[in-house]
Each structure stands twice: as C-alpha cells, then as structure tokens.
Amino acid sequence: MSGEEEENAAELKIGDEFLKAKCLMNCEVAVILEHKYEQLQQMSDDPLNQVSQVFEKSLQYVKRFSRYKNPDAVRQVREILSRYQLAEFELCVLGNLCPETVEEAIAMVPSIKTKGRAHDDEAIEKMLNDLSLIKKFE
Amino acid sequence: MFFHIVLERNMQLHPRHFGRHLRDNLVAKLVKDVEGTCSGRHGFVVAITGIENVGKGLIRDGTGFVTFPVKYQCVVFRPFKGEILEAVVTMVNKMGFFAEAGPVQIFVSNHLIPDDMEFQSGDMPNYTTSDGSVKIQKDSEVRLKIIGTRVDATEIFCIGTIKDDFLGVINDPVTS
C-alpha cells in the first residue's frame, strides 16, 4: 500500500482517517478501561477471564504510564492543550510524554515547528508550564 | 497511540437469537468477535465503548441467517512510524531488546542502542554505559521512537530506536 509507505508521525502523516479521529491520552484510556473493567466485575466474579489479552495488556500499560491520575486533572490537561491549536495526535503525544523543556517538546513532536504554524518557543514554553502546573496541583 | 474511532461490521446472526433480546445478542456477539483482534489498518481493538447504530437486517438466501450492519465506537491502539512512546522492556539479549507498549511488541536492535552502551550477559542480561550510570534490563521503562512496523493478519510488530535525543531509559527498576 503506497499510503503505508509515507506514514510518518513526526510529520503528522498518519492517514486521513486517524488524523480526524479522536486521539486518547494514556490517562484517558485508563479512565475508560477501568470503568469498563469495573462494569465487568459487577457482572461476574472473574472479570480477568472475560477480557482479551489485548485489553489486559493495554490496561496495565496505561495504568503504568498515566501522568495524571485523577479524572479532573485529565480533563484539565486536554482543555489547556486544546487552546494551542494542536492536532489531536500532537496534543496526546505531549500529554503522554510531558516534556520538560522546549527542545524536548520539539524533539517529541517535530510537527509543531513546521512552517506555517504559529508556535514560537515562547508559546511552547508557556504550554509546558501550564502542563506542569496541573501536575503540581493534582 | 490510542484512538477512539467508529468502525462498521456486518454481523451474521442465527435466527434462534431473534426476539426481545436480539440487540443484546448482537452486541454480545460483536464484543466477542471484535475485542482483542488486530488489523493492519486500524490496529488493535482494545474495547468497544458504544453502539452507534444497528442497520436494517438482510435475510440470507437459504440459511435464514440475518446480516446486520453495526456501527460501533471503540478504543484502538495503532502504532505509527515516527511515533515516540514509552514502553516496558520485556527481554534483553545480545541482539538488542524487546519492549511492550500495551498490546504491541517493539524490538530495538543493538545497532539502534547508543554506542556507549555495552551488552552484559548474566542472570539479568542488560545494556549498560561504561560508567554504569544507565542500565537497560527487564522491566526498565524506556522512551523510544518507532521506525518501522510490520503488519501481518493478526499482529503488528514494531522496530524502534533509542539512539536519538531525549530517548532512552526513563526509570531504572533498580534505583527507583
């Protein structure tokens, strides 16, 4: 498939379908999967038997790598990041990795510095500051 | 990266399920059929979160089975080339190491591990810098970049690198 060959997340080439889709940060996935797991728990005694290996592995993974634990903080992160005209994918990479410096942020999400985008170092720095504030007050 | 997307699937239902609980049966079958599967296009289907709509059923000639087009929302995990993510190391050997990010396996070859890290064999095989300050072993958490994906019918497999700025170990199971 020729589309496959051009795939490059660093340039935000992830295919139209996924570019328009709603991206989820690890912490958001944790909220969704834990909720679903609780529902299963209420229905049967042995919920682990009910879920697929993919579900189980994903749940473990997002629990381990969630930067924000409480659902309110998770909501705030999305709200703050969405003020910066980011693509969904960029927003989630930043929310997942929580870079500390501007250089790190650009290394993680090279597409925020591409031509025609209004992100100078100052704006990025402000965004990272806002993010670390949520973490601090969580 | 995890996504929340809407997918469609044609579900075949046996006539014995028709009746009051038709929809419940349809949804239960969908969950059973779809959750945990993987396709190259959409990645791993982690969990179905809702049913968007169930279309009109079509009776199949001869069998009595009915096909319903079902639109459903689900959480999928789809790795992309160029994506940077965090993963847990599961196995280390002299060829490199394997790591897992949710359902996906990622291999990092020793060519894509920084040159100053040397392989050390033993009970707990690992890659260590010459001064011993950084160590990659089983259960280490690493940040890596996906540089290639291989897709087959039921699995996606990735190749990653940690030979770049801001990549590498983020937490050492020994020190933390």
Q: Is B169 helix (H, G, I), strand (E, B) or coil?
A: strand
**What residue segments make up the domains of chain B, in order of their start?**
2-77, 84-171
Dump pLDDT digits (tens) for B99-114.
Answer: 999 999 999 999 999 9
Specify the long-range contacts of residues B133-136, CB closer than 8 Å, at least 24 apart.
B134/B168, B134/B169, B134/B172, B135/B169, B135/B172, B135/B174, B136/B89, B136/B92, B136/B97, B136/B168, B136/B169
- Closest partner residue to A18 among B36, B78, B86, by Cβ? B78
A-contacting residues in B 69-128 (Cβ below 8 Å): 75, 77-78, 80-86, 88, 100-103
More confident residue, A103 or B153: A103
Q: Using CA atoms, how far apart are residues B153 and B132, in angstroms rounded to an integer? A: 42
Contacts of A54 in chain B (CB under 8 A): 35-38, 44-46, 77, 102-103
Name the fold adopted by B2-77.
Answer: Dna Ligase; domain 1 (3.30.1490)
Exposed e or buried b for every residue in B17-55, given b needs 16+ CB within 10 A?
A: eeeeeeeebbbebbbeebbbebebebbbbbbbeeeeebe
Q: How far is CA A128 from the centre of its chain?
A: 14
Q: What topology does CATH give the domain B84-171?
A: OB fold (Dihydrolipoamide Acetyltransferase, E2P) (2.40.50)
Residues 6+ positions from B12 with CB-CB distance below 8 Å: B60, B65, B66, B67
Residues of chain B above pLDDT 90, percent? 89
Domains recognised in chain A with CATH numbers? 23-66 (no CATH), 71-137 (1.20.1250.40)
The answer for B 133-172 residues in CB contact with A (under 8 A) is: 141, 143, 146, 149, 164-166
Q: Do B81 and A32 touch (CB under 8 A)?
A: no
Q: How confident is the model at residue A5 (pLDDT cuts 50, 70, 90)?
A: low
CB of A80 closer than 8 Å to CB of B69 = no
**Residues A37-73: tens digit of each pLDDT:** 998 888 877 766 778 899 999 999 999 999 888 889 9
| pLDDT-derived band at B12, boundaries 50, 70, 90 | very high
Q: What is the pLDDT of residue A23?
A: 95
Q: Looking at CA atoms only, how far is residue A49 from chain B in angstroms?
A: 12
Q: Say yes or no: do domains B2-77 and B84-171 share a fold.
A: no
pLDDT for residue B176: 44
